């Protein structure tokens, strides 16, 4: 535990020149503040750790001989690192073990509780790999099988995940004393709290092979990279946020069950269709003539490539209006189970003639005769014949009004909540 960073003066929040009296006072204050009986239930575990740390710091610093050792040799005086004459001094390992419940006499104290021998429990399963997977709406409609090559770590076949040659024995890591992790103290507000970090010398293994004993194939890594063809099936009707799980296909880790590869489906935006659950909507263009006189033609290519034909009107004389919606039952997305489907909502966009249409006055006159007449004329006392801009823009509407004009546009962008009041 030579790498544990602990400053006993910091634990008590005093300077190294503090007198015995200062130490006693600081100890009383810190012990009171972190006494487990004085804090809410939720903080009790953390308080117990702090309380222990405060007590141990006091035990060393209040004892003149121990304090001198600590001042002159630092922590190395207490960790049995071979300083002559230091035998009989307290072993910081033991102190830490007691402070943090690391296998010492006070197992199970504080946040380290439930870790046999102090080693954090190894997960039973290696971590899952989560991947976003963007899918076209067409493929969600029809379902799709996707094959791809994946590179992952698998247990080395030569050493069966041992990492070393057949008769070689791994050496215990001296940095972490074979624990695979180290305790460090980090400052949390006014207290030092212990936290666990993976030992970088042995990568958390607690042991390693000397270079000549390492497995030739995996170079001691225990795993090797391997390519594998994987196949996923996207069921028809799948939707955004659906998960497709390939069980046990994540990286292999020695001694653990392999985790899963999890694909999170994301729906690619479609140029024609919009989807809401099982329903679809699409905008279809019809000409003004079609809207007035009717038509029978394919208006849309569906997601499976079929043409969707509409015959309008069903009753002679009915016209289509802009924004009118034709609901086609059963032509939405398939449900994942069964044969039923959602509905398709076709929104009518009427294409009015553009500037390329140059009707003769005679044609216009005939149209006027054929089409419905305007509502009764508006009667007023005076009449002004006004000029106008034929390309007016409603974005300019209200721009000169400080209360509701240009100002509101900004609000709209910044605070969606304000939209409700408009």
Question: Shortest distance, CB of residue 166 to Zn ion, whole angstroms?
Answer: 10
Determine which residue in the list 175, 193, 283, 349 makes contact with Zn ion, applying CB under 5 A.
175
Q: Does 159 bind Zn ion (CB under 5 A)?
A: yes
Q: Looking at beta carbons only, is 220 or 332 nearer to Zn ion?
A: 220
Question: Shortest distance, CB of residue 171 to Zn ion, whole angstroms?
Answer: 10
Q: Does 158 bind Zn ion (CB under 5 A)?
A: yes
Applying CB under 5 A, the span of 109-117, 210-218, 314-322, 329-337 interacting with Zn ion comes to 210-218
Residues 74-133 that bind Zn ion (CB under 5 A): none
Residues touching Zn ion, count (CB under 5 A): 12
Residues 211-270 that bind Zn ion (CB under 5 A): 215, 217-218
Q: Does 173 bind Zn ion (CB under 5 A)?
A: yes
Question: Shortest distance, CB of residue 173 to Zn ion, whole angstroms?
Answer: 3
Q: Both tokens of residue 334? A: 């398939």
Q: Looking at beta carbons only, is 151 or 413 nearer to Zn ion?
A: 151
Question: Shortest distance, CB of residue 303 to Zn ion, whole angstroms?
Answer: 49
Q: Does 199 bind Zn ion (CB under 5 A)?
A: yes
Question: Shortest distance, CB of residue 201 to Zn ion, whole angstroms?
Answer: 4
Q: Looking at beta carbons only, is 165 or 236 nearer to Zn ion?
A: 165
Q: Looking at beta carbons only, is 1 or 12 nearer to Zn ion?
A: 1
Q: Does 176 bind Zn ion (CB under 5 A)?
A: yes
Q: Looking at beta carbons only, is 161 or 258 nearer to Zn ion?
A: 161
Question: Shortest distance, CB of residue 122 to Zn ion, whole angstroms?
Answer: 15
Question: Shortest distance, CB of residue 163 to Zn ion, whole angstroms?
Answer: 6
Give residue for tokens 């005679």: 362
For binding to Zn ion (CB under 5 A), which residues are involved? 156, 158-159, 173, 175-176, 199, 201-202, 215, 217-218
């Amino acid at each position: 535990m030579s790498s544990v960073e602990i400053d006993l003066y910091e634990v008590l929040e005093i300077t190294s020149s503090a007198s015995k009296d200062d130490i006693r006072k600081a100890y009383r204050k810190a012990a009171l503040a972190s006494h487990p009986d004085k804090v809410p239930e939720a903080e009790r575990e953390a308080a117990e750790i702090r309380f222990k740390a405060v007590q141990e710091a006091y035990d060393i610093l209040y004892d003149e001989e121990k304090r001198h050792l600590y001042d002159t040799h630092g922590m190395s005086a207490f960790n049995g690192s071979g300083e002559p004459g230091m035998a009989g001094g307290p072993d910081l390992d033991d102190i830490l073990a007691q402070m943090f419940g690391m296998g010492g006499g006070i197992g199970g104290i504080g946040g380290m509780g439930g870790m046999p021998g102090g080693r954090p429990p190894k997960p039973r399963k290696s971590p899952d790999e989560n991947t976003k997977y963007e899918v076209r709406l067409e493929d969600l409609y029809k379902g799709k099988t996707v094959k791809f090559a994946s590179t992952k770590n698998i247990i080395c076949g030569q050493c069966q995940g041992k990492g070393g040659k057949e008769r070689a024995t791994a050496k215990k890591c001296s940095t972490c004393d074979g624990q695979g992790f180290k305790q460090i103290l980090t400052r949390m507000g006014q207290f030092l709290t212990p936290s666990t970090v993976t030992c970088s010398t042995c990568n958390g293994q607690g042991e390693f092979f000397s270079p000549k004993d390492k497995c030739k194939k995996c170079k001691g890594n225990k795993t090797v990279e391997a390519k594998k063809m994987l196949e996923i099936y996207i069921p028809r009707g799948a939707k955004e946020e659906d998960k497709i799980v390939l069980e046990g296909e994540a990286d292999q880790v020695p001694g653990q069950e392999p985790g899963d590869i999890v694909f999170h489906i994301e729906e690619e935006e479609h140029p024609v269709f919009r989807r809401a659950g099982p329903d679809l909507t699409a905008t279809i263009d019809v000409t003004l003539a079609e809207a007035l006189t009717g038509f029978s033609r394919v208006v849309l290519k569906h997601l499976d490539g079929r043409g969707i034909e509409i015959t309008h009107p069903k009753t002679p004389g009915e016209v289509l209006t802009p924004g009118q919606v034709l609901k086609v039952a059963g032509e939405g997305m398939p449900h994942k189970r069964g044969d039923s489907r959602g509905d398709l909502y076709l929104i009518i966009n009427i294409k009015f003639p553009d500037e390329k249409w140059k009707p003769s006055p005679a044609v216009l006159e005939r149209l006027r005769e054929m089409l419905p007449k305007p509502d009764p004329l508006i009667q007023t006392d005076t009449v002004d014949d006004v000029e106008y801009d034929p390309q007016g823009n409603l974005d300019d509407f209200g721009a000169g009004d400080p209360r509701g004009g240009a100002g509101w546009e900004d609000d709209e962008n910044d605070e969606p909540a304000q939209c409700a009041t408009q």
